[in-house]
Amino acid sequence: MAHTTRTRHRKQSDRPARRAAKDGRRILRRESPTVVAVLTDLADFAAMRGYRSFTFDDYPTYLRQIESLLRSLTSRGIHVRVGPFDPAEYAEYCADTGHEPDSSGSRTRYAADITTTGPTVPYTGQPLELLITEIEYEAGRQATWERASGILAGAGECAGCGDDLARTSFDRASQALMRLFEAAGPGHHHLVCSVPADGTTLLAAMHARCDEQGMVHLVEAEALVCCTVLAAGIAEDSGGGVVMRSGTGAGQPPKDRPDEVRGWTLSDGWLHPLTEAEVFNAYCTDAESGDPVPPEPGVVHRPGFALPPPEDG
């Protein structure tokens, strides 16, 4: 009987330790981020239906299950990021790594690997349709940055000075963007940079807010892509340009304070102002197709302002 009492006492005394260990694991689980890879369109879903281990029969059901999973994870306080699942890249991944493609384990490994460095966005409870739009936008932005970075990587040396052309071009692009926002003054400014490259157009956009003290507030990831695209255009001397829309940032502008659109063309390694008519043509033309775009109500077109010359060296 004495032995039984001691055993029971020892088990009871172990409970706080076991409870603390369980609580600790729960805390660590909440603090460990989770990444989920999602098939963002019906064509990608159809491609995965070719694997017998992929058991979803229809895309709407798949999306509902994904949304349920995301909500379940966030309800437990887990930080969740979501990235795209690309079937073509998945097949290449399996071929390169020797994994069996028709396997849930291979899909898990692929999702873990590609989302480490690939494009992801945080899940904060937004509708799945909006989440997919954000994923596709982020994927496009990263692809643009990679293409522009590739152009800079092969730029070589500056013919006139022997300096590294990629570094010189990036410095010039950085100066140009900052001087644009500083000259634009207080308000919210949305900038779109377009540069022709290999028969297509590299497009990058960014938003900045300039306060009354002259400070420029921006998202570094957006600024990096815009700067890299502009630098690629400078390095290649490929032309291109920048359009900037400025306003109060408070939704639809009042009739007496419409948003203003200005533009610049890229030539000789710097941005030069467009006339009002040129700004209208640039803003009302689709950058990729060249088709006309109807003027937007509540927007006025202004000539670009001259920017101080670059400070090279």
Domain boundary among 125, 147, 177: 125
For the record, the structure tokens of 239 come out as 């032309």
Domain boundary among 83, 102, 125: 125
Closest CA to 195 of 157, 156, 261, 148: 148
Do 167 and 291 sit in the same domain of this protein? yes
pLDDT at 5 over 80: no
pLDDT in tens, 66-85: 999 999 999 988 999 999 99
Do 164 and 103 sit in the same domain of this protein? no
H or E element in which residue 267 lies = strand 259-267
Do 117 and 161 sit in the same domain of this protein? no
Asked whether residue 6 is domain-assigned, the answer is no
- 156: how many CB neighbours lie within 10 A of its CB? 10
Do 114 and 246 sit in the same domain of this protein? no
SS3 of residue 175 by DSSP: helix
Kindly list the distances between the CA atom of residue 236 and the CA atoms of 125, 148, 151, in Å, as whole numbers in the listed order. Answer: 43, 11, 8
pLDDT at 1 over 80: no
Identify the pLDDT of residue 58: 94
Asked whether residue 51 is domain-assigned, the answer is yes
pLDDT confidence tier of residue 139, bands split at 50, 70 and 90: very high
Asked whether residue 228 is domain-assigned, the answer is yes
Do 111 and 201 sit in the same domain of this protein? no
Dihedral, CA atoms, 231, 235, 237, 242, nearest 10 degrees? Answer: 0
Asked whether residue 5 is domain-assigned, the answer is no
Do 210 and 280 sit in the same domain of this protein? yes
H or E element in which residue 72 lies = helix 59-75
The C-alpha angle with vertex 177 and arms to 172 and 179, in degrees rounded to 5, equals 95
- 3: how many CB neighbours lie within 10 A of its CB? 7
Asked whether residue 198 is domain-assigned, the answer is yes
Identify the pLDDT of residue 20: 47
For the record, the structure tokens of 299 come out as 């927007």
pLDDT (average), residues 117-140: 93
- Residue 8 or residue 58, greater confidence: 58
pLDDT in tens, 205-251: 999 999 888 899 999 999 999 999 999 999 999 889 999 999 876 44
Do 182 and 72 sit in the same domain of this protein? no
Identify the pLDDT of residue 2: 45
pLDDT in tens, 34-69: 889 999 999 999 999 999 999 999 999 999 999 999
Centroid of chain to Cα 195: 18
pLDDT in tens, 155-210: 876 655 556 889 999 999 999 999 999 999 999 999 999 999 888 899 999 999 99
Identify the pLDDT of residue 10: 52
Do 106 and 168 sit in the same domain of this protein? no
Instruction: Give the domain range for residue 78.
Output: 12-125
Domain boundary among 102, 125, 148: 125
Do 163 and 274 sit in the same domain of this protein? yes
Is the pTM higher than 0.85? no
The mean pLDDT of the chain is 85
Do 114 and 171 sit in the same domain of this protein? no
Contact (CB, 8 A) for 184 and 244: yes
pLDDT at 24 over 50: no
pLDDT in tens, 263-309: 999 999 999 999 999 998 887 877 667 788 887 888 899 999 999 88
Asked whether residue 144 is domain-assigned, the answer is no
pLDDT at 97 over 80: yes
Identify the pLDDT of residue 29: 47
Asked whether residue 63 is domain-assigned, the answer is yes
Do 67 and 111 sit in the same domain of this protein? yes
Asked whether residue 88 is domain-assigned, the answer is yes
> How many independent structural domains does the chain possess?
2
